[in-house]
A and B are shown apart, each in its own frame.
Chain A
Amino acid sequence: MLRAEHLCVSYGAHRALEDISVHVARGEICVILGANGAGKTTLLNAIAGLVAPRDGARVTIGDTDITRAPANLVVEAGVALVPEGRGIFGDLTVRENLSLGAYGKHARAQSEERLKMVTALFPRLAERSGQVARTMSGGEQQMVAIGRALMSNPHVLMLDEPSLGLSPLLCTELFRSLRRIGETGTGILLVEQNARLSLSIADRAYLIENGHIVGEGKARALASDPAVQKAYLGGAGARTQRRFIEVHEPFHAQPARAALPFSAADLARRATEIQRAHIEARRIGAQAGAFERTGAAARQEASAPASPHANPISLAAGDMARRAAMVLADHIAARRPEPAPEPKALPAPPVADDGNLVVLSRTSLSKTPIGA
């Protein structure tokens, strides 16, 4: 239904998208996974008509060509976008937000039915119809944003990071409603950081890196693919299979890589060094203090979006530090009675009796040697 082919977008000298082609069928949920700055948002904006792709691109919805059409005509043709962050008109009421969603000519005719459908999907919006959108909670604002986009009666709904800033519970609820929207026949093109949750509702997924599509496949197949787990599922998927600590791709070049599987002590020390360098270089406090947190908090933080200013390498460093912290915190929690020597003011790395590294996970408090 929606078909975007050979999209190239540049911001000045910077190539944000390099010959990207995606398609979404009727009622299909497609998710686009990728790190920050990979070009996911640019892709959605290029389809929506907010940024112009270079020559050679072709975007169609059904039989209508919407390449380089102004944004208002793209909506009219049936592609709606829920932009990243605040996708609402904050100073307007919920009712006005929704009615503006049905601004286009063909949407206006059916706005009554669409409103019924949207309020059936999000009953909260009917209760709050007179409220100024800015004064609502984050989850409710996201409902307004999605409801507004649905009011245009789109064939394809594009969402840019809808789970951003929502609690895990609200996220699950949100994804459940997305699935219901998909069941009505609306195609969904979803950009998400929460790879696990989005892959669980998606039919297909695209992996995008540095403006290129590096992978594509059925969501189910991708979710169980070790490479995808490694890159996008934060190694959490690996934990269920093998107790094995993995690092991100940018660290292939690191010499210590050869010693894999290395001990948690090594990992922690390296992570600390990288982290310290990273913090000094970037002065971003987000990753600082990860070691003081409990494993659970660190795990939650691991899925939190990183600052858009960080580059992939420092992101990977932060990620690795967080995971090291998780391992350590789990270990400390399990081994609290034992006094631990503190090199460099850090808790001691866990060392098992037989010389192998032992990782104790809080979910299963069984001892499992690494690499076993």
Chain B
Amino acid sequence: MDEIIFLVNKVVISGAVLGSIYALGAIGVTLIFGILRFAHFAHGDMMTMGAFVAFLLAALVGAMGITAPVPLAFVVLPLAVVITAVLALLIDRGFYAPLRARGAKPVTLLIASIGVTLMIQGLIRLVFGSGTRNMYLDIEDKIIFRMDFGWLGGTRPLVLSQPQILMFFVTLACITGLHFFLTRTRMGKAMRATSDNLDLAQVSGINTQQVVTVTWLIAGSLACLAGTMLALDVNLRPDLAFNIVLPIFAAAIVGGLGNAYGAIAGGLLIGVTEALAVFNWTAVLRPFAPYLPFGMELPANLALVPTEYKLTVAFVILVITLLWRPTGIFRGLST
């Protein structure tokens, strides 16, 4: 029984948590690619930026002596989301829009977005320093829920932290909201139409400038949510999400670029697979150790991939998916 709970703790929960973060990031990447046809490399740093905005607001609110049963960074999240969305829009207006107006190629925009990456990271280091910070204020504690499964004969509890539960609900709400937005609202349909066929969207009477604006607002909002939830789960660093921008891209491509549902599926797939790959199978196989033939012993660590090579998992999945289905799981756009 302990082994199953260990597996759930290490694979199902951490895989789903990581997958949710990847999914929220990949939705932004895939929407931007669908509408503007370029790979927005700075998306990871937009997530970091959102987390720092939430951190700043939480510190301000905390200084006013306000407390809440959930971390303050979560309480101020709606405001942080708005601020990050506006910042994302300003980044577009300041850097990408002028390039688009001059007819820049997608690769130029990609390089520009790498520049934006360096700039955001530099600014964050300049203001907040390069150290690691805790999203929880000094007076707050990270609540950890331990569910006892003693009645099933186990000794280990199922461990879930508060940010993980919050993240689960936030991701679920985002995905449901996005689904209704894309399928039921006029603007959502216009976004799908623009992603499908830009010229035709224009001659159908869709204001594509407006669609671009809304795309950045949504991408910025989701980036802020994902960044803050990630920082709550681990901790806050200037390179918080820069390190996961590659798996996020892999998730978007695996799901099919331009397809929001594909990004969700791709994110969860890569998240859970990464958790499975670095999982130490010895823990689960230990009960079978006495039955091993010829006095074989279980090695101390039986993970498929050492933790430090976790990043490769995303790319292995990417390569396999592209070989099997070049446009991604959900038929996406090609470049």
Contacts and interface: CB of A to CB of B under 8 A. Distances in A.
Point out which of B192, B200, B202 has the most chain A C-beta atoms below 10 A from its C-beta: B200
Nearest to B208: A72
Interface stretch (A21-29, A79-87, A301-309): A79-87
Secondary structure call for the B interface? helix
Contacts of A117: none
Contacts of B196: 89-92
B176 interface: no
B186 interface: yes
A182 interface: no
Nearest to A106: B205
Point out which of B205, B207, B208 has the most chain A C-beta atoms below 10 A from its C-beta: B205
A48 B203 contact: yes
A100 B190 contact: yes
Given A96-B189, A100-B189, A70 B202 contact: yes
Nearest to A89: B196
Nearest to A152: B205
Contact of A81 (B186, B193, B203, B206): B203
A103 B204 contact: yes
B148 interface: no
B200 A83 contact: yes
A104 interface: yes
Point out which of A72, A86, A148 has the most chain B C-beta atoms below 10 A from its C-beta: A72
Contacts of B190: 100, 103
B193 A89 contact: yes
B161 interface: no
Nearest to A145: B200
B298 to A, nearest CB: 50
Contacts of A49: 202-203
A233 B189 CA distance: 43
Contacts, number: 69
A88 interface: yes
Interface string A40-64: 0000000011100000000000000
B140 interface: no
A100 B208 contact: no
A75 B204 contact: yes
B220 to A, nearest CB: 24
Contacts of B203: 48-50, 71, 74-75, 80-81, 83, 149
Contacts of A87: 200
Nearest to A71: B202
B204 A92 contact: no
A75 B205 contact: yes
B332 to A, nearest CB: 10
B207 A72 contact: yes
Interface residues of A, number: 29
A104 B203 CA distance: 10
A186 to B, nearest CB: 16
Q: Sort chain B's interface into a size bin.
A: 10 to 19
A346 to B, nearest CB: 44
Contact of B205 (A50, A86, A92, A103): A103
Nearest to A90: B196
B189 to A, nearest CB: 6
A104 B197 CA distance: 17
A72 B206 CA distance: 6
A50 B193 contact: no
Contacts of B197: 86, 88-90
A99 B331 CA distance: 23
Nearest to A158: B203
Nearest to B202: A71
Nearest to B333: A91
A295 interface: no
A148 B204 contact: yes
B199 interface: yes
Contacts of B186: 103
B327 to A, nearest CB: 12
B33 to A, nearest CB: 15
A91 B330 CA distance: 11
A216 interface: no
A90 B195 CA distance: 11
Interface in B199-222: 199-208
A89 B192 contact: yes
A316 interface: no
A74 B202 CA distance: 9
Contacts of B331: 91
Contacts of A71: 199, 202-203
Interface in B171-196: 186, 189-190, 192-193, 196
Contacts of B192: 89, 91-92, 96
A165 to B, nearest CB: 17
B225 to A, nearest CB: 26
B202 A100 contact: no
A81 B196 CA distance: 17
A81 B206 CA distance: 13
A45 B186 CA distance: 25
Contacts of A86: 197
A101 interface: yes
A148 B190 CA distance: 14
A107 interface: yes
A151 B199 CA distance: 17
Point out which of B186, B193, B196, B204 has the most chain A C-beta atoms below 10 A from its C-beta: B204
26 contacts: A71-B203, A72-B202, A72-B205, A72-B206, A72-B208, A80-B203, A83-B200, A83-B203, A86-B197, A88-B197, A89-B197, A90-B196, A91-B192, A91-B196, A91-B331, A96-B192, A96-B193, A99-B189, A100-B189, A100-B201, A101-B204, A101-B205, A103-B186, A103-B206, A104-B205, A149-B203
Interface of A: 48-50, 70-72, 74-76, 80-81, 83, 86-92, 96, 99-101, 103-104, 107, 148-149, 152
Given A100-B201, A101-B204, 13 more contacts: A70-B202, A70-B207, A72-B208, A74-B203, A75-B203, A75-B205, A83-B203, A88-B197, A92-B193, A100-B193, A100-B204, A103-B186, A152-B205
The 10 closest A-B pairs by CB, nearest first: A71-B202, A104-B205, A75-B205, A103-B205, A89-B196, A81-B203, A72-B205, A72-B207, A89-B193, A100-B193
